[in-house]
């Protein structure tokens, strides 16, 4: 098969849209722990992009951009708690393929505008809870229980009726709570998570907006933050093993050469980064960087890795090119197949970044600089303006906004010029502005960090209180 050429075949699509998967915690991208050995092996003859970004986090804007090929100005979606539909006239990948004769099935993503347009929706049990009473979350196993029979059904129709399919799988394993089943739970950790001398989780327990949620799934009395990170990594490894079952099913069905397989995520995850503990808020790179890779077995262009910057908006146009479909839509994203074929494409090393989930911020990212501007006070009491030199300070630990006012001014102008350009092109105001009183669920903007801190909350205080006594025994007092 020539490079991404379907040779008149109708190509199926299996799309792993994995929630909260942090790129730099995948062994596919060189992580020290073997978290994704099966995905890595599978993609040895695939195409891997090493610098893909989800510039607008979290879930709703991320998936909306991923599944439409458009940015937030075109989708009019920027907030997690988005109210209403996508912008008028916007079509999703599922709708485009459905109109062209595809059977479309979505597993695990019903009720969100980013998952609109499938003919069939299937859910799976307990991604936030337990299975078999062991206190662990068997998310990927539960997904497989639903997805594997559906894959059988779709493949049979494909073979009998020459009707291709699109199967979207929203894996939730890297999303908190991190509760991988045994033996994965001990796979990357052999220390003492209850060491009373370890104070690395104290900051987490002291952060009132999130502590009830964290206490509800941390082991009672846990003190070591490295244990929590090991659980995140174990969730990824557990998911990777379960994904292998789906890849094996494709081989057993003998449809690998007729099935494009895509891996990506709506956003990354913060672990011990920037006080945004074990969640995916903040416009820092751990949340913005995502994996993107695909494979069509037999394609001569496999086995390549690219360092070019790309974004979630590039995924739908790229997929449609491989499938040989021209929907007649002017996408904001680019067709990356040209890059894979060795041709030059328009480079986009700078990007507008946004968050409207637990904080409302926007900014501008270049290969060298990261500017973050708060549109209202945030619950972490961070400064209104943050500036990081990504070359000298890639972990974004040293805010140099006050030391580099000219850089702040320059980047702010670049950002504002881009906003004005996109507002003119789309005919609508930046949704970061129009969502000003809707993003946080309170129908009002926060006037102070104190107000934000005392208003925002996740978790069950009554449930958490049952576990707080154990912490008190080892000297961790919670107000």
Burial tier of 326 (Cβ tally within 10 Å: 0-12, 13-18, 19+)? exposed
Q: Which residues of the chain register pLDDT less than 70?
A: 1-8, 127-132, 460-479
pLDDT of residue 113: 93
Report whether 174 contacts 18 (CB < 8 A): yes
Report whether 375 contacts 361 (CB < 8 A): yes
DSSP 378: -
Dist. CA 178–CA 166, nearest whole Å: 29
Report whether 129 contacts 460 (CB < 8 A): no
pLDDT of residue 438: 84
Interval 275-298: pLDDT, tens: 999 999 999 999 999 999 999 998
* 251: phi then psi, degrees, rounded to nearest 5: -65, -45
Please name the residue ranges forming H helices in 296-372: 315-323, 337-340
> Would strands 351-356 and 360-365 be described as parallel, antiparallel, or unpaired?
antiparallel
389 sits in the region (left: phi over 0; alpha: psi -120 to 50; else beta) called: beta
* 34: phi then psi, degrees, rounded to nearest 5: -80, 75
Burial tier of 15 (Cβ tally within 10 Å: 0-12, 13-18, 19+)? buried
Give the CA radius of gyration of the chain: 22
Task: Mention every residue, 6+ apart, whose C-beta is less than 8 A from residue 410.
Answer: none
Number of helices and strands in the chain (H, E): 15, 13
Dist. CA 444–CA 446, nearest whole Å: 6
Please name the residue ranges forming H helices in 289-404: 315-323, 337-340
Report whether 422 contacts 73 (CB < 8 A): yes
Domains of the chain, first to last: 12-349 (3.40.720.10), 353-473 (3.30.1120.10)
pLDDT of residue 122: 97
- Structure-token pair, residue 297: 């077995």
- Structure-token pair, residue 100: 């062209």
pLDDT of residue 1: 44
- Structure-token pair, residue 214: 């964290």
pTM assigned to the model: 0.94
- Structure-token pair, residue 378: 């945030």
């Amino acid at each position: 098969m020539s490079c991404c050429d379907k040779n008149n075949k109708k190509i199926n699509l299996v799309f792993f849209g994995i929630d909260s998967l942090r790129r730099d915690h995948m062994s596919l991208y060189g992580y020290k722990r073997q978290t994704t050995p099966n995905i890595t092996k599978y993609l040895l003859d695939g195409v891997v992009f090493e610098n893909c970004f989800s510039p607008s986090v979290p879930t709703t804007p991320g998936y909306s951009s991923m599944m439409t090929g458009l940015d937030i100005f075109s989708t009019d979606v920027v907030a997690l708690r988005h109210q209403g539909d996508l912008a008028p006239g916007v079509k999703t990948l599922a709708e485009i393929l459905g109109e062209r004769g595809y059977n479309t099935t979505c597993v695990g993503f019903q009720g969100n505008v980013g998952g609109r347009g499938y003919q069939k929706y299937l859910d799976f049990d307990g991604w936030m809870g337990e299975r078999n009473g062991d206190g662990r979350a068997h998310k990927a196993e539960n997904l497989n229980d639903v997805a594997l029979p559906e894959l059988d059904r779709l493949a049979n129709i494909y073979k009998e009726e020459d009707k291709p399919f699109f199967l979207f799988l929203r894996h939730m394993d890297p999303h908190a709570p991190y509760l991988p089943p045994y033996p994965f739970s001990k796979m990357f950790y052999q220390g003492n998570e209850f060491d009373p001398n370890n104070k690395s989780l104290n900051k987490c327990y002291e952060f009132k907006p999130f502590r009830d949620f964290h206490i509800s799934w941390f082991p009672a009395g846990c003190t070591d933050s490295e244990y929590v990170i090991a659980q995140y990594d174990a969730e990824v490894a557990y998911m990777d093993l379960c994904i292998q079952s789906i890849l094996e099913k494709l081989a057993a069905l003998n449809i690998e050469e007729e099935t494009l397989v895509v891996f990506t995520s709506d956003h990354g995850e913060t672990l011990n980064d920037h006080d945004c503990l074990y969640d995916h808020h903040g416009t820092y790179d751990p949340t913005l960087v995502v994996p993107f890779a695909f494979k069509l077995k037999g394609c001569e262009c496999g086995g390549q890795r690219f360092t070019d910057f790309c974004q979630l908006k590039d995924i739908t146009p790229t997929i449609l090119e491989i499938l040989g479909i021209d929907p007649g839509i002017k996408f904001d994203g680019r067709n990356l197949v040209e890059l894979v074929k060795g041709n030059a494409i328009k480079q986009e090393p700078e990007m507008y970044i946004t968050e409207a989930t637990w904080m409302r911020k926007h900014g501008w990212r270049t290969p060298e600089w990261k500017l973050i501007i708060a549109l209202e006070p945030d619950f972490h009491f961070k400064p209104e303006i943050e500036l990081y030199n990504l070359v000298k300070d890639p972990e974004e630990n040293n805010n140099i906004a006050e030391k580099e006012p000219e850089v702040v001014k320059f980047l702010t102008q670049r950002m504002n010029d881009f906003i004005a350009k996109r507002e003119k092109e789309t005919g609508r105001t930046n949704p970061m502005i129009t969502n000003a009183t809707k993003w946080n669920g309170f129908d009002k903007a926060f006037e102070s960090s104190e107000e934000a801190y005392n208003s925002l909350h996740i978790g069950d205080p009554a449930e958490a209180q049952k576990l707080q006594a154990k912490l008190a025994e080892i000297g961790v007092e919670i107000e």
